[in-house]
Amino acid sequence: MTNDVNASGVLEEALERLHASGPEIYEWRLTNHAPMVVEALATHGLSASVHRWLDAYQVRLDDFPSPVSPVTDANWREALGDSRRGADWIGYFRRAIGERPWRDVLAEWWPRLLPGLYGASTHPVIRVGHAVRVITESGETAPRLTELAHGLGYWAARHRPVPGVTLLAGARDADGALDAVPPIGDLRGGFTDRLAQVDRLPVWSADVTDPDEARRRLTDLVRASTHRYATHGHGDETMLVHAATAPNAVLRTLPALPRALWVPSLHAAWTASAAVTAMYAPPEPVPYAPVTGTTPEEVLRRALAHGDEHVIKFADTAVDVGDEQALAAALRAIELSEPLSY
């Protein structure tokens, strides 16, 4: 597929539509996935389908939330992780990116936000990863920079650390490390309840100090977690996609970050992927059906026809990985998930 993200102007139109909506759908306490999906569609040459998909999805969305009190350089610590302050945080980042180069803002805030990667089911960092990808690969525009501000603001408002994790014996590669993740004791409840139970995770890549090695390991983690969905996605067809899409968002952001931040980014991404694996692990894996001859373009079009936001975003990550088992995993997500009604 040809990347038509700049030629069509559709992404800008879609983002401007979406920036009148809030980052969450409060009736269902869910994340607004539309900015991530429209970026993925446009980046993969499917701009012609963006508005049709968005018309079907937008009926769910809420208006942009009301501000509480401005976030400033002096008071940001007290506002960090306060979910009521989403509008305040987005306003802060819009001002910051309007006044300074966006890479400088990202570099300053990335290490502050990274420990809270796990809030809102990891969706804020995924939203940031989509915004950074289109800016770095296809150029800056005002709506794209505003989208980055929305993603960073959402992350700051939903900032949630995972403290007190006991480190267990790990494995040499990402596949083995994910296999070694112990499931939490109570596989009921929502993301927040389950996250509170994550107290044991295997060690993986703790010895990495070189930025290039961190990037290689992170690439391996995205591949392994994407592959794993093909055999384990039935544990929770929706939530387990984040074991792959969250680290992939971090991987997409690395080129825009100072190299000194690559190693801590790897460690945070591993904890996120491992935590989601622990929270939604099925009792047993199942075999997956090979998809010999299926192209990435076909997988993306099938994901779009299905319409579910997680299916599209996971297919986007599977295409990044690009091999047969990754594409099989994307098709498994289509098989397991409830489609969006167009």
- Tell me the C-alpha to C-alpha distance, in Å, between residue 31 and each of 66, 163, 285: 17, 23, 28
3 — pLDDT class (breaks 50, 70, 90): low
Kindly state the percentage of the chain with pLDDT values over 70.
98
pLDDT of residue 29: 73
Closest CA to 314 of 1, 12, 11, 33: 33
Query: What pLDDT score does 50 carry?
Result: 97
For residue 323, the tally of other CB atoms under 10 A from its CB is: 12
- In this structure, the chain runs to a length of 342
* pLDDT (0 to 100) of residue 27: 63
Residue 94 has what pLDDT? 98
Give the mean model confidence (pLDDT) for residues 238-265: 98
Query: Tens of pLDDT along 25-81?
Result: 876 579 999 999 999 999 999 999 999 999 999 999 999 999 999 999 999 999 999
Q: Is the pLDDT of residue 200 over 70?
A: yes
Location of structure tokens 């703790």:
206
- Separation of alpha carbons 226 and 40, rounded Å: 17
The residues pairing with 21 across neighbouring beta strands, listed in sequence order, are 63
Query: Can you give the pLDDT at residue 342?
Result: 77
Q: What is the mean pLDDT of residues 5-19?
A: 92
Query: Percentage of the chain surpassing pLDDT 90?
Result: 91
What token pair was written down for 62?
Answer: 């809420």
pLDDT in tens, 183-196: 999 988 999 999 99
- pLDDT of 1 > 80? The answer is no
Gap between the Cα atoms of 18 and 32, Å rounded: 9
Rounded to whole angstroms, the Cα distance separating 54 from 300 reads 16
Domains of the chain by residue range: 5-157, 162-342
pLDDT digits (tens, 9 = 90+) for 260-288: 999 999 999 999 999 999 999 999 999 99
Distance, CA of 116 to CA of 263 (rounded, Å): 16
Residue 72, pLDDT score: 98
Q: Is the pLDDT of residue 210 over 60?
A: yes
Tell me the two tokens of residue 88. 């305040």
DSSP 110: H
Q: Which pLDDT belongs to residue 5?
A: 82
- Inform me whether the pLDDT recorded for 2 exceeds 80: no
Amino acid occupying residue 183: P
Q: How far is 21 from 62, CA to CA, in rounded Å? A: 6
Q: For the chain, where are the alpha helices, taking DSSP H only?
A: 5-8, 10-18, 34-43, 50-58, 76-79, 86-99, 102-113, 123-138, 142-157, 174-179, 191-195, 211-232, 242-253, 262-279, 296-306, 309-321, 324-336
Burial of 77 (0-12, 13-18, 19+ CB in 10 A): exposed
Average pLDDT over residues 151-166: 95
The burial class, CB within 10 Å (0-12 / 13-18 / 19+), for 111 is middle
**Residue 6: its pLDDT value, please?**
79
| Tokens representing residue 292 in the block | 């010999």
For residue 57, count other CB atoms closer than 10 A to its CB. Answer: 21
Under a CB-based contact definition with an 8 Å cutoff, are residues 7 and 45 in contact? no
**Angle, helix 211-232 to helix 309-321, in steps of 10 degrees:** 130
Please, which contacts does 24-28 make with residues 24 or more away whose CB atoms are closer than 8 Å? 24/62, 24/86, 24/120, 24/154, 25/60, 25/61, 25/62, 26/62, 27/62, 28/60
Amino acid (one-letter) located at 180: A
Average pLDDT over residues 324-341: 96
Report whether 254 contacts 218 (CB < 8 A): yes
Residue 286 phi, psi dihedral angles, 5° rounding: -125, 155
Distances, alpha carbon 40 to alpha carbons 150, 261, 310, in Å: 17, 25, 11
